[in-house]
Every structure is written in structure tokens, then in C-alpha cells.
Structure 1
Amino acid sequence: MAQDDDKALIEAALDNLLEPIVAMLLRNGVTYQEFATFSKNTFVSVAQRDFGVRGRPTNSSRISAMTGIDRREVGRIKDLLACESPVGQVRESQDRMSRVVRGWYEDADFLDKHGHPSQLPTEDGEISFKELVRRHGGGLPFKAVLKELLAAGNIKVLDNDILRVLKPYYSPPGSNPEALLRAGTVINELSNTLLHNLYVAPNKKKETPRFERRASSNDINVKDSEAFKAFLNIEGQAFLERVAVWINDHQIETEDTSKTVRLGVGVYGIERKN
């Protein structure tokens, strides 16, 4: 009976995990068959990476036993996984796009006498949008950044190709497939924090739980929804800007990836009708 109860809890958790993901996939034209095929690749990838002995990749026989996928098919998928994935590259591109926007709000050379972001010429002069991208874009082409930030609603073109920044954060426009990828990276990082806290930190002495908290209630007056959103937009953005300052102060430039780690925090609102 206990096993049946555990299975029911796992199935309920799986339904909670998949429901918003499936909704996003259907809105982007991804069929069940495509999802099933890709999921099979992910099962092999995770089993190979996380369940080896003494830090070595898991062999094909064990992957097959764990996942229920035929050993020959496991071998085929492992060959596919050896090819480089664009996901990490796009995530880094999004991070660099965010740094361009933050630089416009934080780099003194791009602020007016009141400490507000200056209106910038597109590429003429020493202090221009092109120079902003050169300093903070990590090598991204300035015209590509300009096009993306215009599409995302971050900047507006005024007369004589003068640019004004409209908001201090970047997220890809909803019609852009990269917006779905960004959503995937957000879910991935939150899920990995939960995975770490559930299965890694309790079993390894040197690992500590990662910060993960919620503040929510099912009994809020529906009339207060908009007021809460306004409150969260102000307080959440202020908190993230303080985090961004800390991150900026602790970044290093090195090609040795063993000396760096990805750190950050995500803030998200909660709203669901009872």
C-alpha cells in the first residue's frame, strides 16, 4: 500500500511538472511524438551523466536497464548527444544581452548628470549605443543587439537615430522562439535547485541546500491581485538590481572554466485561481 501511495504522489508531481511545459509546447507547435522522441534523448543524457560509478559516465547496459530503452537505441542516442548543443550558447547570449541593458543603467559613462540612462546616438561618437554594446555585450554584434532590444521593447528610436532605453531588464519577445528557450532555462534552473535540495545536499557532507523559499496564500481577495503585482514589480526589481550589483562586483575574466561558476537568483510571481 505504501508503494502505491508513493507512486500516486510521484504521478501527481509529474503532472504538476508537465502541465505548464506541455501548454508551452503546444503553443509552439510541438507534437506529442516530437516531445516523446526528445524526452528519450534526455532520459539517456541524464542517466549517462548522473548515474555513473566513481564519477565515470554510465555505461550503455545500465542506461538501458534504468530507462527501459533498448541498448542499441541508447548507443545511437549517445552518438547524437556527442554533438554540441546550442542551448548553452543561447543562454550565454541572453546573459550578455542583459548585461548591455544593465550597463546602460549602471555604467557612469552612459548616465546623465542626474544619474539616469542617457539617450544615445546609435553609433556616432565615443559614447554611443555601439560603444555600450562593445563594453558590455561580450562580443555580440551591435546591430544584432539593437534589433533584439527593439523587438523586446527595451529601447525606442527617437529622431536622428537617437535611442532611449525603456526598461532595466531584458527578456526575449514572446513571438521569438528564444523566449521559449528562456522559459526552459528558468524552469531548468529552478528544477535543478529543487533536485539539489532533495537528493544532493542531504547525501553529501560538503553540499549545502540552495536558497528556495515561497510566500503565498490561497485566501487573498481577488480585488488585490493588481496591487500585489505592482508591489512585486517594485520590490522584486529592486532586489534583483542589488543582486546584479553583487554579481558585477564578483565577475572575473578568465578562459579557465574551472575557476568560475554560474550563480544567480530568480524571482517569480504566483497567481492561480482556486
Structure 2
Amino acid sequence: MKPGHTKALSAATLTFLRPLVRIFLRNGLAAKTFFELAKQIYVEVARDECGVKGKKASISRIAILTGLTRKEVQLLLTNPETRSTASEEQYNRAARVIGGWLKDPAFGDGKGHPAPLQLNGRRGSFSALVK
């Protein structure tokens, strides 16, 4: 791609991503999950549209075109839902724990702020929060 085109494409990408990221943030979609979804789409499009002589692209070709490793490409092609679902579940659990700490009065300092947590204990501890 020509240098001027790269700059213009980057600017256009930032313009259309901004409203999407606003939606993602409002709905709790972590950047890591977005990255995994983007990798998945890159791999699918490269596979379907960048093959030679009407054939789907090989793993090596997809890796070269996308900048991903062959191992990542293979994983995304064989198990596309696993990676994005796993990272989303991990993020959602962490978000729930932090949200509970910030909002639940049982874990607050009485002034509307989250209190320092002890690691273990029945009440007001990290282990109680995680449960």
C-alpha cells in the first residue's frame, strides 16, 4: 500500500472505530475481547478472500497477510469461538468483582468509597467479595 494511503486508511479507521468503542465500553466489552474478535475476522477474511486460483488461503499465507503467527491462525481456524468467549468470561468475572467492591456497602468505608480489603475473612474481605 502506498504511504499516503496507509495514513488515510489509519485516519478513517480511527473515525469509524470511535463510536464502536463507545458502544463496547458502555456494554462491558474489554479491549482484549475486541482484539481477539478482530484477529478472528482478519483470519476469516484472509482465508476466504485472499486465496490463490479460487482456493482458500493457506495458514502460512493467512499468517503473512494478517501479521499473526501460524500457530494463532491455526488456533483461530480450528476453534474460533473458544478464544473470544474465554477472554470475555474472564473479563466479565473480574468486572463483577470490581463492581461489587465499588458498589456494595458491605465492602465500603461508610462514606461511599471502597474499603481496603483483607485477603481472607468472613466479612469485608477479598475472599468474601469473590464469593
TM-score, normalization: structure 2? Answer: 0.57
Matches of residues 263-274 of structure 1 in structure 2 within 5 Å?
none
Distance 1:49 1:26, change over 3 A: same
Distance 1:34 1:46 in 2: 18
Shift of 1:55: 2.0
Provide the aligned length of Structure 1 versus Structure 2: 82
Shift of 1:27: 1.0
Shift of 1:47: 0.5
Shift of 1:80: 1.5
Distance 2:48 2:2 in 1: 28
Q: Could you tell me which amino acid in structure 2 is paired with residue 13 of structure 1? A: A
Decide whether the 8 Å contact of 1:60 with 1:71 is kept in 2. Answer: yes
Correspondence 1:19 to 2:18: yes
Correspondence 1:28 to 2:27: yes
Shift of 1:8: 1.5
Distance 1:73 1:80 in 2: 10
Q: 2:117 aligns to what? A: none
Q: 1:87 aligns to what? A: none
Q: 1:54 aligns to what? A: 53
Secondary structure in structure 2 of the residue aligned to 1:43: helix
Shift of 1:28: 0.7
Distance 2:33 2:70 in 1: 21
Decide whether the 8 Å contact of 1:63 with 1:74 is kept in 2. Answer: yes
Distance 2:43 2:6 in 1: 22
Q: Could you tell me which amino acid in structure 2 is paired with residue 71 of structure 1? A: R
Moved over 6 A (4+): none
Q: 1:72 aligns to what? A: 71
Distance 1:4 1:51, change over 3 A: closer
Distance 1:34 1:81 in 2: 13
Higher RCO (CA-CA < 8 Å; seq separation 6+): 2
Deviations, residues 34-71 of structure 1 (Å, cap 9, x unaligned): 11111111111110111112221110000000001000
5+ long unaligned stretches in structure 1: 84-274
Distance 2:3 2:41 in 1: 26
TM-score, normalization: structure 1? Answer: 0.28
Distance 2:20 2:73 in 1: 25
Query: In proportion to residue count, which structure has more helix?
Result: 2
5+ long unaligned stretches in structure 2: 83-131
Q: 2:8 aligns to what? A: 9
Identity %: 30
Q: 2:124 aligns to what? A: none
Shift of 1:82: 8.9
